[in-house]
Amino acid sequence: MTLLNESKVKKKRTAASGAILNEKNVVTASEQRKRRKKVASLFADFSPVVDFAEYDCFELRSGRYLDMAQVTSKDIYSLNETDKNADMYLLTYLFQAYNGDLKIVPLYTPVNLEKQKNQIIRNIRRAKDPAYVPFLEKKLAELAFIEENRLNKEYFFFLYADSVKELREQKNHLKRLLARNNPMIELDLEKKINVLYQLSNLNSKPSMDGGMRT
């Protein structure tokens, strides 16, 4: 009994020596252009938010509704063990008691100290005592360092529901659950728009009037 069947080897060689390029599979340039996926030219073409709704909510492309609220932040490193355990217990209870769709969104925003820097620059220009100028220049350098190296940390709850009425009920429920340890901060429409803008433009910096700039 031979270990190698020569007839099978010949068949493999014949198949391998066949045409490498099958003309049936050739795609013309025009067909390739047709197959290319259309790229969205505007942010509105792929943004999940499509319109405003009642009570400063947002209508989503899926047909659902979105609202948001800010969470009161605290320095957990300065808390004692009792307070830490209480916070963990209440947050655990929150996720057990709240039945709606909820997302926690952390947002790290670049610090904008242009207003403070401009004030110091004006003080330097108006300074009558030259000995006071180095002190102002030092303060200006400190603000520039903070602006370059520090981020504002904010945390938001994104709430989702099938109707505005249901969304408001869930938001009131969440507000009651957070009232004891982490009171919920209501946001106006401008702040909500800024949050959405910042999430889509992470390198943008808040302007002095509360808006966003690149």
How confident is the model at residue 182, as a pLDDT?
A: 83
Threshold 0.75, pTM exceeds: no
Q: Does residue 143 carry a pLDDT above 60?
A: yes
Query: What are the sequence ranges of the domains in the chain?
Result: 45-108+154-213, 112-149
Q: Phi first, then psi: what are they for 91, rounded to 5°?
A: -70, -35
| Tens-place pLDDT, residues 60-83 | 999 999 999 998 888 778 888 888
Between strands 184-185 and 212-213, the pairing is unpaired
Mean pLDDT score across all residues of the chain? 80
Q: Print the SS3 string covering 4-46.
A: CCHHHHHHHHHHHCCCCCCHHHCCCHHHHHHHCCCCCCCHHHC
Q: CA nearest 198: which of 142, 154, 133?
A: 154
Lowest mean pLDDT among 12-26, 51-65, 106-120: 12-26
Q: How confident is the model at residue 150 (pLDDT cuts 50, 70, 90)?
A: confident
Looking at CATH, the fold of the domain delimited by 45-108+154-213 is given as: Alpha-Beta Plaits (3.30.70)
